[in-house]
DNA sequence: TTGTACGCGTTATCAT
DNA sequence: ATGATAACGCGTACAA
């Protein structure tokens, strides 16, 4: 009952009339301890408010019960949900979660990932869509603990993610299926997120859908944003100022799509009457803005990654060194519709082919419909 | 260069031709080590890629370099930003951050806060607006480490927050200043967040502003939400279905305000022409929805709380056991305007006094203007 | 300024 | 099923 001296394993051993070894075994639920003995030990431990020192336990066992999650941002929707998913799974199994925020390129990164800060401190690592360069990856590997990633490939690591090519294809096909032909794409900058496949993959999906529909990919309608609302506003404004604005915009993230929506509002362009807008993610913002999008369950990706890591740590399952692909799904809302009847303000210097037919091809329609 | 055996302090001592004690002193930057010796030791340590085992160091020193942040949610805007602010400050000082998500009332809470899981594991605790009941608080105190809170009072702990009464007053005064008299308030449920002052304080501010303006607080216009968009939608719909709907709605959070906005859209009520809506927070959603709100810097609150904790841990400053109040600021956007000209559909069973004059009193106008 | 030696509080190995 | 004891790897009085 005294608060002064936290009791140690010896105190419990004495109180229960057994050795420290038995206390340790009994309290950790190991076998080869008689029920009566265990009961006595547990009683004594409870009485003395004994809690094993995790530091001492780690020193001997080499296990810390801590998993590091490496992320570039904490506040963005995508990362907050990844962390949340991982956290819930990890805490169920008694693991604790250490947040490593490496931020957006810069001096902090080196410090955050410094070998010293993580060495011997964590049992495993979750890399959540963080764009690490080779030296940084090497640092993580030098820690010699299991690593599972979400959204990027790391040699020798399990990976969880969605099929980004397909997600973008689904989105684009939805717009094509509605009859749009002048569709702008606001992607992630592949020159920025060098080692993350997302930006590249989603653009690939966009091109695939266009190709299948027989629509030329006009370079002027492809632009980059920084995945944020603010970035979407900038790109959206530029697109709407064009002499031959698109009838639809697909953004690689909901946040950028919302930015485009804001730009349209400022420009007085009605959505979806004059402009269709859609994103990818199904962010909370997408719902409140009635944004059509392609849903991915980010929380589940985080949880799945954690699950893989735990299986590895428990020895239940060896690393498979391959990607676990989670599903995506088209979510239709009010921000997309068929393009306006052919307006007179068209036929700029744009595509050579331009629009050919209003009705979507059967293939496109089927594809656009399949996700739901 | 070998990856097989991580080198220990003895290896370094041998390589540098000194004792382990000197290695320890040299590497941690303590004095009483000659520059030459230190250089030799550092060289040897670098060469051998030596990193002191944090577990062993903790066992001896009693310090872990880890701070626990206790939160009820990870993904909500408010909490993600608090964590972000705290994290950036803590990592600057070499502390690491352990996330403790206690969730929303239920079995998980007990487990997450269990003495065992935290005992001897962290040097300090940040309680970020988590609604802990007395037993839970006792558990935290039993860990015998410094605690700093954001948004709630804990006996003997420093606290960081905003003046919630004032924030709500500013918001309400803005609406009153615009000429609104039938103003609904969507608050947080004080019966739910029992130990968090926010819900109570903000409602107090609302009442204060109404009283100052000489407007009766009609009970029917006061309702509760769960701080989420979804909750705001429900409340908003009910408010708009009333025979005598309000001309303005103030929600205690931007997320609920956005919900009201969604409800208005569904009901075909134009904002701000027919209904003014405002929130409190300055959430990212507020900007994209052009929502008028009262801004609080949540990131800064997290950072400030971390700073206080660090001062305490470094012995720079003793705990002051008082609240550090951060400023708030009115942000005018397009969701608020003067109420529509007296419509014929009014004069229900409502207030006895009802509207008295269109022009706001000088006091109200002054107050509404002062925040910016 | 530097080295020696003990202890931090467990867990794991062995013997019983 | 249980007990004795040696690590685990470092920090730090204290001695030199």
pLDDT per position as a tens digit, B183-232: 999 999 878 777 788 999 999 999 999 999 999 999 999 999 999 999 99
Query: pLDDT-derived band of residue A80, with 50, 70 and 90 as boundaries?
Result: very high
CA A336/CA A251 separation, integer angstroms: 13
A162 CB neighbour count, 10 Å cutoff: 23
Domain check: are A117 and A196 in the same one?
Answer: no
Range of the domain at B218: 164-296+330-371
If one counts the domains in chain A, the total is 3
What is the Cβ-side half-sphere exposure of residue A139, based on CA atoms within 13 angstroms? 18
Least confident of A108-117, A125-134, A265-274, B143-152: A108-117
What is the Cβ-side half-sphere exposure of residue A47, based on CA atoms within 13 angstroms? 12
Is residue B57 a part of any domain in this protein? no
What is the C-alpha R_g of chain B?
Answer: 27
List the B61 CA – D15 C1' distance (angstroms).
Answer: 22
Range list of H helices, chain B: 9-16, 20-27, 35-47, 54-61, 77-92, 107-113, 115-118, 134-142, 164-177, 198-213, 229-241, 254-267, 284-288, 298-314, 362-370
Domain check: are A41 and A79 in the same one?
Answer: no
Q: Kindly give, in sequence order, each residue whose CB lies less than 8 Å from that of residue B292, ignoring residues fewer than 6 positions away.
A: B174, B276, B277, B278, B279, B330, B331, B332, B333, B334, B335, B336
| CATH code where residue A23 lies | 1.10.260.40
The shortest CB-CB distance from A80 to any of B80, B100, B229 is to B80
Domain boundary among B325, B341, B363: B325
Is residue A275 a part of any domain in this protein? yes
Domain check: are B237 and B342 in the same one?
Answer: yes
Q: Alpha-carbon torsion B312, B196, B332, B166, what sign?
A: negative
Domain check: are B285 and B212 in the same one?
Answer: yes
Query: CA B39: distance to chain centroid?
Result: 46
CA A276/CA A247 separation, integer angstroms: 6
* Structure-model confidence comparison of residues A194 and B233, the more confident one: B233
* Contact yes or no for B75 and A84 at CB 8 A: yes
Query: Residue A4: what pLDDT?
Result: 54
Q: Which residues of B touch A4 (CB under 8 A)?
A: none
CA distances to B9, B225, B336, B350 from B183, in Å:
69, 16, 12, 12
- From the number of C-beta atoms within 10 Å of its C-beta (0-12, 13-18, 19+), residue B344 rates as exposed
Domain check: are A134 and A220 in the same one?
Answer: no
Domain check: are B225 and B286 in the same one?
Answer: yes
Q: Could you say which residues of chain B have pLDDT below 50? A: 1-3, 344-372
Is residue B190 a part of any domain in this protein? yes
pLDDT tens digits for A234-287?
999 999 999 999 999 999 999 999 999 999 999 999 999 999 999 999 998 899
Is residue A124 a part of any domain in this protein? yes
| A-chain residue closest to B95, CA distance | A117
Domain check: are B27 and B48 in the same one?
Answer: yes
Does the CB of B138 sit below 7 A from strand D?
Answer: no
B258 CB neighbour count, 10 Å cutoff: 30
Domain check: are B16 and B89 in the same one?
Answer: no
Domain check: are A137 and A216 in the same one?
Answer: no
Average pLDDT over residues A167-178: 98
Q: How far is A364 from chain B (nearest CA, A)?
A: 31
Does the CB of B10 sit below 7 A from strand D?
Answer: yes
Task: For chain A, say whether B138 makes contact (Cβ under 8 Å).
Answer: no
Query: Residue B346: what pLDDT?
Result: 40
Tokens of B339: 């109420």
Is residue B202 a part of any domain in this protein? yes
Is residue B1 a part of any domain in this protein? no
Query: Residue A107: what pLDDT?
Result: 67
Q: In what order do the strands lie in the sheet with A248-251?
A: A222-225, A183-188, A248-251, A276-281, A292-296, A328-331
Does the CB of B60 sit below 7 A from strand D?
Answer: yes
SS3 label, residue A335: coil
Is residue B4 a part of any domain in this protein? no
Listed residue (A306, A25, A369) closest to A158, CA to CA = A306
CA B238/CA B261 separation, integer angstroms: 13
Query: CA A221: distance to chain centroid?
Result: 27
Is residue B59 a part of any domain in this protein? no
| CATH code where residue B75 lies | 3.40.50.2300
Tokens of B92: 């600057």
Query: CA B101: distance to chain centroid?
Result: 14
Percent of chain A with pLDDT over 90: 70
Does the CB of B53 sit below 7 A from strand D?
Answer: yes
Average pLDDT over residues A55-67: 94
Pairing of strands A292-296, A328-331: antiparallel
Domain check: are B138 and B208 in the same one?
Answer: no
Burial letters for B141-161: b for 16+ Cβ neighbours within 10 Å, e otherwise? bebebbbbbbbbebeebbbbb
Domain check: are B321 and B336 in the same one?
Answer: no
* Contact yes or no for B119 and A51 at CB 8 A: yes
CA distances to A163, A249, A329, A371 from A363, in Å:
20, 21, 18, 13
Q: Which residues of B touch A254 (CB under 8 A)?
A: none
Query: Residue B342: what pLDDT?
Result: 63
SS3 label, residue B269: coil
* Contact yes or no for A91 and B80 at CB 8 A: no
Domain check: are B188 and B289 in the same one?
Answer: yes
Burial letters for A300-336: b for 16+ Cβ neighbours within 10 Å, e otherwise? bbbbbbbbbbbbbbeeeeeeeeeebebebebbeeebb
Question: Which nucleotide is at minimal CA–C1' distance from B25?
Answer: D11
Query: Residue B109: what pLDDT?
Result: 78
Query: Residue B107: what pLDDT?
Result: 66
Burial letters for B218-229: b for 16+ Cβ neighbours within 10 Å, e otherwise? beebebbbbbbb
């Amino acid at each position: 009952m005294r608060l002064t001296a936290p009791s140690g394993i010896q105190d419990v051993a004495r109180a229960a009339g057994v050795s420290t070894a038995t206390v340790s075994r009994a309290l950790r639920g190991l076998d080869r301890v008689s029920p009566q003995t265990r009961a006595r030990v547990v009683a004594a431990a409870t009485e003395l408010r004994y809690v094993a020192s995790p530091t001492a336990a780690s020193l001997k066992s080499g296990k810390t019960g801590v998993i590091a999650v490496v992320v570039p941002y904490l506040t963005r929707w995508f990362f907050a949900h990844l962390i949340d998913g991982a956290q819930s799974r990890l805490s169920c199994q008694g693991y604790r979660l250490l947040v490593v925020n490496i931020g957006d390129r810069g001096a902090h990164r080196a410090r955050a990932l410094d070998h010293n800060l993580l060495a011997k401190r964590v049992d495993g690592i979750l890399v959540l869509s963080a764009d690490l360069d080779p030296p940084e990856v090497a640092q993580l590997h030098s820690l010699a603990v299991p690593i599972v990633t979400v959204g990027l490939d790391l040699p020798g690591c399990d990976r969880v993610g969605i099929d980004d090519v397909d997600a973008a294809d689904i989105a684009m096909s939805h717009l094509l299926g509605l009859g749009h032909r002048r569709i702008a794409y606001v992607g992630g900058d592949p020159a920025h997120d060098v080692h993350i496949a997302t930006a590249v993959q989603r653009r690939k999906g966009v091109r695939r859908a266009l190709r299948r529909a027989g629509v030329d990919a006009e370079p002027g309608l492809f632009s980059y944003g920084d995945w944020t609302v603010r970035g979407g506003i900038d790109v959206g404004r530029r697109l709407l100022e064009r002499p031959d604005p698109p009838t639809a915009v697909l953004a690689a993230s909901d946040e950028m799509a919302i930015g485009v929506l804001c730009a349209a509002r400022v420009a007085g362009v009605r959505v979806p009457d004059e402009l269709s807008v859609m994103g990818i993610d199904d962010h909370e913002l997408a719902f409140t803005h009635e944004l059509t999008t392609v849903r991915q369950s980010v929380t589940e990706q985080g949880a799945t990654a954690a699950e893989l890591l735990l299986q590895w740590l428990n020895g239940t399952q060896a690393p498979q060194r391959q990607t676990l692909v989670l599903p995506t799904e088209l979510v239709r809302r009010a921000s997309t519709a068929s393009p306006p009847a052919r307006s007179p303000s068209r036929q700029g210097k744009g595509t050579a082919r331009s629009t050919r037919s209003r009705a979507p091809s059967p293939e496109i329609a089927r594809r656009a419909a399949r996700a739901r």
